[in-house]
Amino acid sequence: MVRAAIAVALTSALTLGVVEGAYRGYLWNEFPQRFRQSDPALEGAIGFISPPPSTYSARRGFDYLPNTEFIQGLIRNGAIEGCSTVRTNSTGGWGRDGTDYASADFRVLVVGDSFTASAPGGVTWTNVLEERLAAQTGRRAAVRNLARDGQGVLNMIDIAADEITRTKPDLIVLAYITDDLTRARIWRRIETYEGKLRQFTTTSGDAAFDPSQSVDAQVVVSGITKDWCVAGRKDALVQDIVQRKVLAVAHAGARADLFDLRRSFAADVVRYNGDPFGFYEQIAAGRISTNPRHALASFEEDARAAEAIASIRASGAPVVLYHLAYRSHLRQGLETSATPHETRLVASLEAAFNRPSIPTMPNLPAGTDIERIGIIPSDDHPSRYGVDIYAETLLNGLAKTGKLVSK
């Protein structure tokens, strides 16, 4: 009887072991990037930029380097796949320089995220806005774009409050996407850490660098030249960039361990509602990420944001809240698919500035081709066509609010 019970137990354990092993093999083949690994090729294309594009700012989170050319590249399978160059303008933005801000008779300050910072073909939607504002109002309009990639509404409010005392805008536009609502306040830092120059996103604004509150934002390198950055190159510097990516992934942590015998992926797929990586995602949720989140019910719960909002209101500069809808929502006839938390935050933002947001959908120009708005099929950031559409959409919304005043 005892032998039979032992035999059954051993058979069951062996069967479970075989099932677990087979399932781990399946997960490794299907989702290699979810596991810790020593093979950088399994990370896919590795992007890098040279020189590091930003500088730490205690008040703004970070600033882009002005009037600087950057080399961007991709490495795949240990070799450079391709390279390109981008250049910032005189104010550190990614679009072209426009009308002189100081001498303009209608000055607009825009804060936002990467949807507003990105410049396909060297043009942002704020560049287009400046041109069309001048044409429609007959005034010498200047638009200053202080959008920063990865930042959310908390950072945008900080930047607007910091800027109004110096440049005294006639209009402030806070341009946000739904995802910006729950983004925590972030800073970017360039630090030499573990022997490598690295760019970090951090939730700590302290002058001293805190690695435990930081995660690599992107791979940065110094001293790369256009002549070096050519497709097919394989050399020591390429391998060094690959190792920087390995360090970044290791620092971020929360990757699954294929050989961790303390857990069962087969059991976790049941325990975490069909997600075999649910345990590791819970670990990641407690760590800093490239887009960390806050749990505020209202923006004015944050003392720094409340102070900044009060400062903006006291300046007397009109504020426009502009919601940029994703192409993926527009094609479904939606402005957004905001969660209850995001919806509450929109309400708090609108209450703080005593005005509703200008939405995208009802203000789209007639005949807009929704599919052409995004830069590529898998990315809703604006294409060159998209920047025109987002600028025209805001102008249509401004016309309805009476914020456009002719000379």
pLDDT at 287: 55
pLDDT at 245: 86
pLDDT tens across 292-306, in order? 889 999 999 999 999
Q: Where does the pLDDT of residue 5 fall: very low under 50, low under 70, confident under 90, or very high at 90 and above?
A: low
Residue 291's nearest CA partner among 79, 149, 386 is 149
pLDDT at 143: 97
Distance CA 82, CA 229 (A): 8
pLDDT at 227: 95
pLDDT tens across 56-91, in order? 999 999 999 999 999 999 999 899 999 999 999 999
**Count of CB atoms situated within 10 Å of the CB of 164:** 19
pLDDT at 248: 80
pLDDT at 305: 98
pLDDT at 4: 60
Mean per-residue pLDDT of the chain:
88
Q: Where does the pLDDT of residue 406 fall: very low under 50, low under 70, confident under 90, or very high at 90 and above?
A: low
pLDDT tens across 173-213, in order? 999 999 999 999 999 999 999 888 999 999 999 989 998 88
Report helix, strand and coil shares of the chain as percent, to nearest 5. Answer: 40, 20, 40
pLDDT at 253: 55
pLDDT at 230: 93
pLDDT at 239: 93
Task: Reduce the DSSP state of residue 135 to 3 states and report it.
Answer: helix
Distance CA 288, CA 291 (A): 8
The domain spans of the chain are 1-30+257-284, 38-88+190-252, 94-184+294-401
pTM value > 0.75:
yes
The CATH superfamily label for domain 94-184+294-401 reads SGNH hydrolase (3.40.50.1110)
